[in-house]
Amino acid sequence: MNRADRTPDARPARGRRWWPLVLLVLAGGSRWMLAGVHPEAESTLASQTAGCLWAALVSLMLLRRGPAQASLRRSWRGMVAGALALCGPQIGLLLHTRDLDPGGLTMALALTPVVIAVAAAALGTGVTDDAPGRIWPGIAAVGGLLLVLAEPSLSGVRNDLALVLAPLLTGFGAALLSERVAPSRWRATTALTGATAVLAMALLGSRLAGASVPHFSLLATACDGVIALLSIYALLGLGATRWSAQFTLLPLLVLLEGIPLVRPAINSRWVVGLGLLVLASVSLLAPPAEEAAADA
């Protein structure tokens, strides 16, 4: 299709898909500073459950009037995909891991684009020929994080399992939710409902096991709900690969924010590490091959 054949609203409509990802990165990048001032803003299993619940209700209210084209099979797939994509980064809470290394989890999630590339090729939701080009940014991001952060601490089977499952669940769920099926206005709601169900079952299981009542605060619930809502809309609007850029952009933003606050010793390792994160982020945000061809 030629440029002249596209409607005048084609580019603005495409640009509007980016705002959830931009807000998601900004919200996630400022969460650690908010938690430093208000410790009750730290995410817990209870706040994650309540946050996903109100995000699902908001998504339901945002539905426009009209017939919904969502089959029962597609709804279940959306619930499973949403549960995997949203609960994958929170696997530490689900497994009740203690002393899970935050740096190790950050590096593990940086491998999410690799899982998405492989899963998308297996599910037929991506361009197979472009799979190698979508794999190297995740590897480059991990290399950059290893230059800047301390090496991850492997301490216990449960913690190690969480580090392995985090990118696998997140990447497969994102690829599954990005399947090229007929669009449905219910996809965001079903995805958030699936995540809420999994988190609620994990919360109930912890209570039945005799665990203490998890800390709950309205501030943490509000933050978790906003991040879950933005994450799903960014995924549905941009696709799995560009959505996964958050796992390179977030640590990049946090590291840049920490320079004037923590004042670490900036050396060549830092420069190269930050450069690799920038390179990986730009590559992940680049349009897929078929979209680039359409713009030509």
- Residue 293 placed within a domain: no
Mean pLDDT of all residues belonging to the chain? 84
Q: What is the pLDDT of residue 210?
A: 67
Q: What is the pLDDT of residue 64?
A: 60
- Residue 12 placed within a domain: no
Distance, in Å, from the CA atom of 126 to the CA atom of 141, rounded to the nearest integer, reads: 21
The domain total for the chain is 1
- Residue 228 placed within a domain: yes
* Helix spans in 16-44 (H): 19-37
Lowest-confidence range among 138-142, 170-174, 259-263?
A: 259-263
- Residue 295 placed within a domain: no
Dump pLDDT digits (tens) for 21-49: 999 999 999 998 888 888 888 999 999 99
Dump pLDDT digits (tens) for 212-238: 666 778 999 999 999 999 999 999 999
219 versus 151: the higher-pLDDT residue is 219
Q: What domain range includes position 150?
A: 18-287
Taking residues 71-84, report their average pLDDT: 82
pTM of the full structure: 0.88
Nearest of 42, 45, 41 to residue 213 by alpha carbon:
45
- pLDDT category of residue 282 using cuts at 50, 70 and 90: very high
Percentage of the chain lying above the pLDDT 70 cut: 81
- pLDDT category of residue 125 using cuts at 50, 70 and 90: low
Distance, in Å, from the CA atom of 137 to the CA atom of 278, rounded to the nearest integer, reads: 10
- Residue 198 placed within a domain: yes
- Residue 75 placed within a domain: yes
Query: Taking a C-beta distance cutoff of 8 angstroms, is the pair 146, 107 a contact?
Result: yes
- Residue 175 placed within a domain: yes
- Residue 115 placed within a domain: yes
Write out the two tokens for 66. 């009209």
